[in-house]
Structure 1
Amino acid sequence: MDVSCEVRFGKNQREIEREIDPTGVINRIYPKGYGEGVNQLTIREINNGRPYLENEASIAKYGLIPYVWVDRRFENVESLKASAQALLDERSVPKVSYRISAVDLSVLTGMDVDKLRLGRIVRLVDPDLGAFEARIVAESKPDMVGSPGDIQLEIANKTENLGTTQADLERRQEINEVYAQGATNLLAYSYDDNADFSNPAIIRFNLPEETVRVNGLTLWFETSEFRTYGQATQGGGATSTTTSGGGATTATSSSGGGVAKSTASGGGSTATSSSGGGTTITSSISNPTFFAYTSNPVGLNPAYADHIHAINVTDQMNHNHSSTIPNHQHTVIIPSHTHNFDVPNHSHSVSIPNHTHDFTIPNHIHEIAHGIYKLNRLPSTVTIKVDGKAVSHTSTSGDNIDLVPYLSTDSGNKIQRGWHTVEITPNDLGRINAQLNLQFFIQSRGDYSL
């Protein structure tokens, strides 16, 4: 404030009257701006977590006098705090009104500092009250004709009356009627599908730019067996496929070489064979007619050295010989013995020529076996990520898991508007059944027009 005039005791001040009204003192103020309920704007986030401002000197002198101040025009927290501080500075001391009887010396001096007019900032210098500065809020001249220089001034805080209170209430009502406050929204996102380590369950949701505050983001989920709905599908049919061998491949295996091995008989074995028994065999000589014998006796008369003795045989040699073999057995005894043999060094070679294998699959179909089939195992752990940030929860189920601390934020530590992602990744094949609950406060106005 720039001081433009002055009232000083012994110069232009005649009388002074002071009125103090302590009924309007406020020394702790709770400012609230745009919104409603838990979504109403407060100064907590920029005031060390405290939702109020206070004047400790005023509390020590007059006791604690709190006040909830609501002005929904404010959407910026810094502006809300600054206005609340100004109001606290004004209301933390009693309202004081000064009524001064003074003399307007400007008619005589012509100086601007002696002009006492409504709205000007005046410096009041009094030996009892000290020196202070305040605005002239009222001006009157009781006698314009007889004493035109006499003037009545009212300075400093003007005491509130019924008229000023009513005007303030009407102003706030008009603001509330034309000012959109928005609404709280609750959205639920569901997911129920198979998932594995490479294909996680993904839930995406959007925070519109008109979002004022995110009240909550909670996750409920459970894990069950992997599920499928069929066992077979139709074949392509009439498919011919040929596979080719390696060709000209030779495989050789070698024995140990020079190995001698011996096998032993049972030893002391007796084998007996039996003849047919009662068999008769007869041999016959038929019709021999002549038998001749030539001899060369030694030491006899040389004259009779060579001669033949001949016997004429008629039927004398025509005879039979009979032999009868009675029933009998042949016994053979085999003593204990072994058989030895040697295997020399050698190898075995096999050569496989180039070749192919041809087979044909005739046209056919595979019928589908309809039904719900579950894998007989479950994942043991899961990994939950919100906007790429891991959540400290690995159990395969959970209830009311708070995900707000994991949402991505901007440089001002404010939750980003736009798309966000929640991922649930099991460590094995499984089925994820999940529900994501989002609660947020959104303004009920926008830029879209028809």
Structure 2
Amino acid sequence: MIKVYDRNMRLLAHLKNAYSIGYETPLNEIWKASFSLPLDDPKNQYCKHFNYIELFDGEKRVDLFRIMPARTFKSVEARKVDYQCEHVLACLYDDGIDDYAQWTNLRTEVVLRGMLEYQEVKRWELGRCEITRYFHYGVEKEDLLPTILSVARPFRDPFQWTWDTTVFPWKLNLERGSTQLVGEARWGKNVRGIEKESDPLPMATRIYPYGYGEGVNQLNISKINPTGRRYVENAAAVAEYGIIKYHWVDRRFEDIESMYESSLAKLDELSRPKTTYSVDVVELKALGDLTRFDVGKIVAIIDEDFGRVEVRVRNYKKPDVTGKPHEVSLEIGDKLDDTATTNADRDRRQKTEETYSQGSTNMLPYNYADNCDPQNPAKIRFYLPSDLVNVNTMMLSYQIDPFRAYSRAIQGGGALVDSTKAGGAIVKATESGGATVRSTSSGGSVVKSSGSGGGSQQTSSSGGGTSTSTASGGGTSRSTNSGGGAATTSGFSNPGFYVVSSDPLPFGGTPPYMDHVHSVEVSGQLNHNHTVNVPSHSHEFIVPAHTHDFSTPNHSHTVNIPSHTHEIDIPNHTHSVDIPAHSHEVRLPDHTHEIELPDHTHEIEHGIFEFNRRPSSVQIRVDGNLVPINSTSGSEINIIPYLSTDSGGRIQRGAWHEVTITPNELGRVTADVISRLFIQSRIGGNH
């Protein structure tokens, strides 16, 4: 039974009149189906190009296919229309990778999901992925289906692509190949005919795999091959068949590990003659053994002539589901490449070489010419981009010349210049004998100073104080003798005054007396005088031992100097200086000197002036690594061993690199770093 769907998976019709329904399911390839309809069947209108059909083998659903336009044939004489279909996995041919894409060191599952993202219409998505490997995949201008199928290409272990088209989006699975024996094809039981075909060509016991690039830049496996050679070989096959070389060139390989693994798988395939069995069997599914001969299973072929052989089912063919339901043709064993397959592979390789960017070698110089010295070395810097494929060569050539200047002197203003500090010292002169030195005689003269105005000068104030003299013994002093005499006081009269008695005194008793005084009036004629007679006498004073205390108050002194001149009279004279034997000692403390330069200009002389000597040796470093060369010139020195590398041992990409040349004195360096770089044109635009 066949159901027809449009491209949006809407059911259109059941093709009940379909006949000659056949299909084949090759392992890891596109399945095919075919059927015919009567020319006058009205349901032919639903069988348009790219519509889908769902094919059933009895009650079992085979799978989902789509009708291909180039393979549909209408026969008027036979009054039928033949339809050729391919599995819906071929829908991935409708999409592709336009430019360049790569996946590096990612899990297989991640790579497959990334590739499926390139679908314009999301028909397929990843289901199960039972194999995990880490390879580098690079794709450029390639259809999506072969890109996805190539993911498992480097695997040496058996694998099988399966799918589930009962859901949408459809599920694509990558499973491990079955290693379990599930059935047998025995002559006389379920086998009607066995045909064995052995083809020694193509065969190889030694394979030289090559990937992208050309010439010395073409990828080979020598760097990771344990033998260090560019080829892999099967020692047992060499012993049996001899050395048969095969140069396997596939420029789609950009990763050395992926290519190495693929070359081992290719060697397993080609190191023995291919043997295939075409077996016509009678299918016994009706008896309950439903999966016996399914593609990918291991079956045993048992025959008296061939013996017992356990091989994998590579293709399952059923030419007529309705007319001959029990006839099945199995292709078991190695897959043989027929002429059509070989031509298709050749065309595919030609297309690959036309569309893949293989790249080219570019020669780039990095130049340097300038003065340098031990503190300022010559520095040659260059950048290697991250998408650089290979560094073929990196050569350094250089020459050391005298320092070069282009003028002498220049205008300059004055300045204060401090000399460097110097430590002090004690300097002693040599000893010298003494001498008497006389000046010449000179006449005297009178020298007058210039007149000067007077002034008042005041000392600063000073606090007072008490001063005590030293103690002194006493003494007796007598005056000289003196004659006596009589002295008369002056007289007066009528004094007229009162004389008061003494102060009042208290008196007690009975009767009481009040305090009182007595007053006496003096009046009348009381004129009188006194006469005193002083005899001759002397006076004697006794001075005891004593000291004197003087108290000085705070005070200041003021001196008034009038206007005046000084006059000095210098007589005729000579000077005599007596110098004894002696030495001089001078102590110099730590000090600096300051020199003042006034503003000034210098004349400028233009020209090319070279130093009168040149450096005698140099030190060369590349990314900090010392190069064992110190001569003043060198040509085509390979500096690749000294360039910085990444964790994988390759020269760092996306990084700056530096070559330094340091002379032992002032000089000039002329140098070139010339590189040969292999690049590919996968980025940028057409500007």
Query: What is the TM-score when the length of structure 1 is the normalising length?
Result: 0.70
The CA deviation string for residues 273-325 of structure 1, in whole angstroms up to 9 with x for no partner, is: xxxxxxxxxxxxxxxxxxxxxxxxxxxxxxxxxxxxxxxxxxxxxxxxxxxxx
Paired residue for 1:419, among 647, 656, 659?
656
CA distance in 1, matches of 2:588, 2:633: 61
TM-superposed deviation, 1:251:
6.3
SS at match of 2:266: helix
In structure 2, the partner of 1:30 is: 208
Pairing 1:159-308 to 2, within 5 Å after superposition: 159-237=336-414, 253=429, 255=431
Equivalent residue, structure 2, for 1:438: 675
Match of 2:20 in 1: none
Q: CA deviation at 1:362?
A: 4.8
Letter in 2 for 1:36: E
**Would you say the 8 A contact 2:362–2:679 is kept in 1?**
yes
Q: Which runs of 5+ in 2 are unaligned?
A: 1-176, 435-578
Contact conserved, 2:280 with 2:329, CA < 8 A, in 1? yes
| 1:69/1:395 CA distance change after superposition, 3 Å | same
TM-superposed deviation, 1:73 = 2.1
Contact 1:196 1:425 in 2 (8 A): yes
In the TM superposition, residue 66 of structure 1 has moved relative to its aligned partner by 1.2
Q: Describe the shift of the 1:252–1:392 C-alpha distance in structure 2 as closer, same or farther (beyond 3 A).
A: closer
In the TM superposition, what is the alpha-carbon distance from 1:181 to its structure 2 partner?
2.4
Q: Secondary structure at the match of 1:44?
A: coil
- Counterpart Cα distance in 2 of 1:180 and 1:217: 24
Residue identity opposite 2:358 in structure 1: Q
Root-mean-square deviation over aligned CA pairs: 3.6
Of residues 240, 247, 252, the one that matches 1:61 is 240
CA distance in 2, matches of 1:165, 1:240: 92
Deviation at 1:168, TM superposition (A): 0.9
How far apart, CA to CA, are the structure 2 residues paired with 1:433 and 1:385? 16
Q: 1:122 to 1:242 in 2, by over 3 A?
A: closer
Aligned to 2:615: 379
User: Aligned with 2:347: secondary structure?
Assistant: helix
Map of 1:356-375 to 2, 5 A cutoff?
361-375=597-611
Q: 2:625 — aligned with what?
A: 389
Query: Compared with structure 1, are the counterparts of its residues 23 and 223 closer, same or farther at alpha carbon in structure 2 (3 Å cutoff)?
Result: same
Aligned to 1:409: 645
Seen in structure 2, the aligned counterparts of structure 1 residues 235 and 116 have a Cα distance that, compared at 3 Å, is closer
Q: CA 1:376/1:37 → structure 2, altered by over 3 Å: closer, same or farther?
A: same
Residue 291 of structure 1: aligned partner: none
2:309 is aligned with 1:131? yes
Q: Judging changes above 3 Å, is the alpha-carbon distance between structure 1 residues 158 and 240 closer, same or farther for their aligned structure 2 residues? A: closer
Q: Quick one: distance in 1 between partners of 2:386 and 2:596?
A: 63
Q: CA deviation at 1:231?
A: 2.1
Q: 1:124 to 1:218 in 2, by over 3 A?
A: same
Which amino acid is the alignment partner of residue 216 of structure 2?
A: V
State the distance in 1 between where 2:599 and 2:277 align. Answer: 111
- Please identify, of 192-201 and 27-36, the stretch whose mean Cα deviation from structure 2 is larger: 27-36
Find the residue that maps to 2:412 and give its secondary structure. coil
Report Cα offsets for 1:27-61 as digits up to 9, x if no partner. 11111222222222221111132111111121222
Contact 2:300 2:308 in 1 (8 A): no
Q: Secondary structure at the match of 2:602?
A: coil
How far off its partner does 1:250 sit? 9.2
For residues 122 and 29 of structure 1, what CA distance do their matches in structure 2 show?
A: 31
User: SS of the counterpart of 2:220?
Assistant: coil
Counterpart of 1:74?
Answer: 253
Contact 2:312 2:332 in 1 (8 A): yes
SS of alignment partner, residue 46 of structure 1: coil
Q: Is the 8 A contact 2:206 2:267 kept in 1?
A: yes
Give the drift of 1:405. Answer: 0.5
CA distance in 1, matches of 2:649, 2:665: 36
Give unpaired runs (5+ residues) of structure 1.
259-343
Question: Aligned equivalents of 1:200 and 1:155: distance in 2?
Answer: 73
Match of 1:346 in 2: 581
Task: Report how far residue 206 of structure 1 moved.
Answer: 0.3
Query: 2:275 corresponds to which letter in structure 1?
Result: V
The 1:153–1:242 alpha-carbon spacing in structure 2 relative to 1, beyond 3 Å, is closer
Q: Tell me the CA shift for residue 7 of structure 1.
A: 1.3
Secondary structure of 1:163's counterpart equals helix
Work out which of the residue numbers 84, 104, 118 in structure 1 matches 2:283.
Answer: 104
The Cα shift of 1:201 comes to: 0.8
**CA displacement, residues 326-360 of structure 1 (integer Å, 9 cap, x when unaligned):** xxxxxxxxxxxxxxxxxx98323478999x99986
Report if aligned partners of 1:182, 1:445 keep a CA contact under 8 Å in 2: no
Count of equivalent residues:
357
Judging changes above 3 Å, is the alpha-carbon distance between structure 1 residues 398 and 359 closer, same or farther for their aligned structure 2 residues?
A: closer
Amino acid at match of 2:206: R
2:41 counterpart residue number: none
Q: Separation in 1 of the partners of 2:213 and 2:651?
A: 18
Q: 2:316 touches 2:328 (CA, 8 Å); kept in 1? A: no
CA-CA distance at 1:91 after TM superposition: 1.0
In 2: Cα distance, 1:250 partner to 1:41 partner: 81
Separation in structure 2 between the aligned mates of residue 384 and residue 425 of structure 1, nearest angstrom = 7
What do residues 160-199 of structure 1 show as CA deviations (whole Å, max 9, x unaligned)? 2221011112222333333222322211011111111111
Q: Please tell me the residue identity of whatever aligns with 1:122.
A: V
2:612 is paired with a residue whose SS is coil
Is the 2:314–2:335 Cα contact (8 Å) retained in structure 1?
no
Between 417-426 and 156-165, report the one with greater CA deviation.
156-165
The CA deviation at 1:426 is 1.0
Deviation at 1:104, TM superposition (A): 2.4
- Does structure 2 conserve the Cα–Cα contact (< 8 Å) formed by 1:121 and 1:136? no
Match of residue 545 from structure 2 = none
Higher relative CO (Cα under 8 Å, sequence separation at least 6) belongs to 1
Task: Give, in whole Å, the separation in 2 of the partners of 1:26 and 1:350.
Answer: 105
CA distance in 2, matches of 1:168, 1:423: 52
CA contact (8 A) 2:313 2:330 kept: no
**Is 1:384–1:424's contact at 8 Å kept on the other side of the alignment?**
yes
Using the alignment, how far apart are the partners of 2:636 and 2:259 within structure 1? Answer: 34
Equivalent position amino acid for 1:157 in 2:
D
CA distance in 2, matches of 1:186, 1:390: 25
Using the TM superposition, name which of 224-233 and 438-447 deviates more.
438-447
